[in-house]
Amino acid sequence: MHPSATSWFAARTSTWRDWTPDALAAAKGDTRISVVLPALDEEPTVGEIVTGVRTLGPLVDEVIVVDSGSVDRTAEVAAAAGATVHHRDDILPSVGSRPGKGEVLWKALAVARGDILVYVDADLTDFRPHFVTGLLGPLLTDPATLMVKAFYDRPLLDVSAAGGGRVTELAARPLLNAFFPELAGVVQPLAGEYAARRSLLETLPFAYGYGVETGLLIDTYRAAGLDALAQVDLGQRTHGHQDTAALGRMAATIVHTINDRLTPSHSIWPTLTQFERHDSAVVPHVTEISLPDRPPMVTVDGYGRPTATRTRR
Ligand SMILES: O=c1ccn([C@@H]2O[C@H](COP(=O)(O)OP(=O)(O)O[C@H]3O[C@H](CO)[C@@H](O)[C@H](O)[C@H]3O)[C@@H](O)[C@H]2O)c(=O)[nH]1
Ligand SMILES: O=C(O)[C@H](O)COP(=O)(O)O
């Protein structure tokens, strides 16, 4: 692992259990906190998540759902649960509306009043209030922290207890390790649950669609340094799963987002860091990836000449 990533992982990783609601309420002062749910057709899950966030009482100043063009009853269910609902087309109408997740996270900045925004996906099937308190901990207690990413175990429902996060494992992590190895200690770079200061978010571009998490992560690192980032272990998270073709489109968007952030002199880092849970902790596991090619066989001394073969027993 890149040495900066090793030090960052050791220094900037915590667990939600480190941050109690009472301690956070005391640290909050007059900091305003908005919880923002991007939602496209999430009628079955959005209400319960809004209700769960509202159990945190005055720690959270507002719960906002930004509707990304739903054709189901997402907006009605969210409003009935107590969220303020905005349709993407009604926010900054002069700039028009684009499809995709990045658009609604970006437009949320124009309607939310918080100094800190906590993004939570609206398709979670096991939301618990500690998702929010965990993310707030490092921000409310350390002014140098600008963005906090969640991480968790990701079961692939009905398939594997530990095999979820397919785009993360097959595309985003290998690409980030190769081109932004300082970020290799981020356990869930695509986590849809993260919190950040408005003062950071309002200065960054928001990448298209599902590139938004990758773009914000790289751009925060480049604008403010690794120590502006922290990550919090939330335990386990389950959500709705998309099919392989849809995940292919997600991966392709992430490839473009990363490519937009490469420089002509970008080199490639030779290791991949993955993570495994051992007991309660998540630990990095590093694999050497690049060995030079073997040369064309015609250039190899001895090629074409009969060799004495030894029989192996
Ligand atoms: O056009 C869209 C698509 C999605 N969403 C919402 O965004 C959230 C996450 O979308 P989802 O399709 O569930 O994403 P995942 O397949 O779970 O993808 C993972 O990886 C993505 C790429 O980084 C992240 O954006 C996600 O948060 C993360 O969970 C959900 O609340 C969606 O309703 C929108 O608001 N508009
Ligand atoms: O983060 C990811 O890789 C995508 O959300 C896909 O997750 P899944 O493999 O758990 O469906």
- What pLDDT score does 275 carry? 96
The interface predicted TM-score (ipTM) is: 0.98
- Closest ligand to C-alpha of residue 99 is 1
Domain range annotation of the chain: 3-297
**How far apart are the C-alpha atoms of 120 and 122, rounded to whole Å?**
6
Ligand 1 atom nearest residue 168's Cα: 20
**How far apart are the C-alpha atoms of 78 and 64, rounded to whole Å?**
9
Torsions phi, psi for 129 (to 5 deg) = -55, -25
Nearest CA to ligand 2 atom 6: 165
- What pLDDT score does 203 carry? 98
**How far apart are the C-alpha atoms of 95 and 110, rounded to whole Å?**
12
- What pLDDT score does 161 carry? 60
- Closest ligand to C-alpha of residue 166 is 2
Mutate to test the pocket of ligand 1, among 89, 98, 123 (most ligand atoms within 8 A of CB): 123
On the 0-12 / 13-18 / 19+ scale of CB atoms within 10 A, 73 is: middle
| C-beta of 166 in contact with ligand 2 (< 6 A) | yes
**How far apart are the C-alpha atoms of 17 and 234, rounded to whole Å?**
8
Mutate to test the pocket of ligand 2, among 149, 168, 175, 217 (most ligand atoms within 8 A of CB): 168
Stretches in the chain below the pLDDT threshold 50: none
What is the signed CA dihedral for 251, 257, 258, 264, rounded to 10 degrees? 140
Q: Which residues contact 109 (CB under 8 A, 6 or more apart)?
A: 117, 198, 201, 202
| C-beta of 47 in contact with ligand 2 (< 6 A) | no
The superfamily CATH assigns to domain 3-297 is: Spore Coat Polysaccharide Biosynthesis Protein SpsA; Chain A (3.90.550.10)
- What pLDDT score does 76 carry? 98
Q: Is 24 helix (H, G, I), strand (E, B) or coil?
A: helix
| C-beta of 213 in contact with ligand 1 (< 6 A) | yes
